[in-house]
Chain A
């Protein structure tokens, strides 16, 4: 399978884990250590490093999942990811640098369906010895900077 097809599969698995609320599968798509961050295009343009979510290990991703399962209180909601086609912008030393656009619709408890976020995944993807791909880095660069009410579920 060519690289683009493998990346499409990886992104499909990523979206499916979140949208079907199999959140425990989500950290498994990352290498360990890794970088996962949710930020905005404006922060990236200004060189500002913070994220509304920030994890540098698979353990921190698992903690995001356990928090939304066990600790945090929020109104029932889920996401529908629409993920575009990945573009490979570079490949060196077994690391593919890719960009993939996304759109997230948030479905609220009361049935409202509205665009919650759009943006681009800026990824560094690696393959293990079996050839399986995972994210060494996924920086979620949101197009805008307004996050309505709260963000419990990862993007």
Chain B
């Protein structure tokens, strides 16, 4: 399938009628509620022509190392093969459908074996062994014409980019470099420029549709308004230099903040009387904000999303991958992997440990993103036929040199509508 780069999304009818105003600046609330839409998303978005983040290469360094995860609703095994390549297949035994691997991670040696009836699979997900295939003493067993090679879990193609592992079920998904486009690709490479080191993993179940979280990540407008901590400590403010890059197809984004917070316009928050401007609030131990320039380009903060559901985050020296796993229409899991680099000094390690207070389930900044999606999900309970307004910065989805915009949110809807055929 070709990725269309035009801004117009073909008008098609949804189960709820035509898309409101046929505009990516209008989002009907049923998209966060509708069971039929969730089923269609599983098929057309997650199991469609998209690259789904599944793990880090660092999670499975040795032959036989595996992790289990999800692509949409589909349970998936990701495993390092003997030749060093990475395979992914549906975590579903071809026999009776049980999970083939039921732990989060581990090492299986040469084969997976389903615990239910001991059917076994090689590291590529090929069915290799069937217990008592020929029966016992010539009695029982599988029919003579049963062909193992015709039975097996669905296989996914994998690709890697700078240590990130992605999987897709579609033969039509373009190479990851083309999928992302040159601008977003450069922003991934900028951060993941050397071997990484996992520092911790946490899961944050959120009481909202997965798209509300992805929109929140792409929404550069809210960050310094909702998050007092950001603005007060000059970590990011809309008055700082920066902008948002949106891939040509709208799907992916990278927002960034450059240099000093005390730039021209720094008084704009006070002038607007914004809650997030609070001069009375001081840190007793400001070592939390003792950051150092480590990428050599004065970008203090970069939030990058890859459609449909992974975020690469650099907030000063605080680095993390966030994986979005939907759990139906009104719940999702956010899987945080905090990381540093293999060559970090003890001082850098300490700095990252302290700055990690900013993010995650208890993050001085991120905690509010944990509840705001639920506030929307609850607020729209009786408004499935109403729409939200996404018009900051216009009605199109191009890169902009400001973050007082919802351009990348519109980009998400442009891509989502294309995949969904809505």
Interfacial residues, chain A to chain B (CB-CB below 8 A): 38-40, 42-43, 48-60, 62-63, 66-67, 70-75, 145-152
Give 1 or 0 for each of B355-384: 1 = CB within 8 Å of chain A CB: 011001111100110110010000000000
In the complex, identify which listed stretch (B135-143, B239-247, B280-288) lies at the interface while the others stay far away.
Answer: B280-288
Interface pair B201/A149, CB less than 8 Å apart: no
Given contacts A52-B362, A60-B284, contact A72 B201 (CB under 8 A): no
The CA of A125 and the CA of B281, in the complex, are separated in Å by: 31
Interface pair B200/A150, CB less than 8 Å apart: no
Interface pair B284/A53, CB less than 8 Å apart: no
List chain A residues, Cβ under 8 A from B229: 67, 71-72
Given contacts A67-B229, A70-B278, A71-B232, contact A50 B361 (CB under 8 A): no
Q: Which of B284-307 contact A (CB under 8 A)?
A: 284-285, 287-288
List chain A residues, Cβ under 8 A from B104: 42
The CA of A38 and the CA of B362, in the complex, are separated in Å by: 9
List chain A residues, Cβ under 8 A from B203: 145-147
The CA of A148 and the CA of B182, in the complex, are separated in Å by: 37
Cβ-based interface call for B23 (8 A):
no
Cβ-based interface call for B198 (8 A):
yes
Interfacial residues, chain B to chain A (CB-CB below 8 A): 104, 198-207, 226, 228-229, 232, 278, 280-281, 283-285, 287-288, 333, 338, 349-350, 352-354, 356-357, 360-364, 367-368, 370-371, 374
A sample of 4 more A-B contacts (CB under 8 A), given A63-B285, A149-B205, A150-B362, is: A48-B200, A54-B354, A74-B368, A150-B367
List chain B residues, Cβ under 8 A from A72: 228-229, 364, 367-368
Interface pair A52/B199, CB less than 8 Å apart: no
The CA of A75 and the CA of B350, in the complex, are separated in Å by: 31
Interface pair A151/B362, CB less than 8 Å apart: yes
Q: Give 28 pairs: A residue, B residue, CB < 8 Å, sorted on A.
A: A38-B362, A40-B202, A48-B198, A49-B349, A51-B353, A51-B356, A52-B202, A52-B360, A52-B361, A54-B353, A54-B356, A56-B354, A57-B287, A59-B285, A60-B284, A62-B285, A63-B288, A71-B228, A71-B229, A73-B228, A145-B201, A146-B205, A146-B333, A149-B361, A150-B361, A150-B370, A151-B367, A152-B367
- Shortest beta-carbon distance from B103 to chain A in Å: 11
Look across to chain B and name the residue whose beta carbon is closest to the beta carbon of A40: B202
Interface pair B353/A49, CB less than 8 Å apart: yes
User: Which one of A39, A58, A71, A149 lies within 8 Å of B200 (CB-CB)?
Assistant: A39
- Shortest beta-carbon distance from B202 to chain A in Å: 6
List chain B residues, Cβ under 8 A from A146: 203-205, 333
List chain A residues, Cβ under 8 A from B363: 52
Interface pair B367/A50, CB less than 8 Å apart: no
Interface pair B288/A49, CB less than 8 Å apart: no
- Shortest beta-carbon distance from A16 to chain B in Å: 21
List chain B residues, Cβ under 8 A from A60: 284-285, 287-288, 354, 357
List chain A residues, Cβ under 8 A from B338: 50
- Shortest beta-carbon distance from A27 to chain B in Å: 9
List chain A residues, Cβ under 8 A from B283: 59, 63, 66
List chain A residues, Cβ under 8 A from B285: 55, 57, 59-60, 62-63
Given contacts A49-B199, A59-B285, A74-B367, contact A149 B360 (CB under 8 A): no
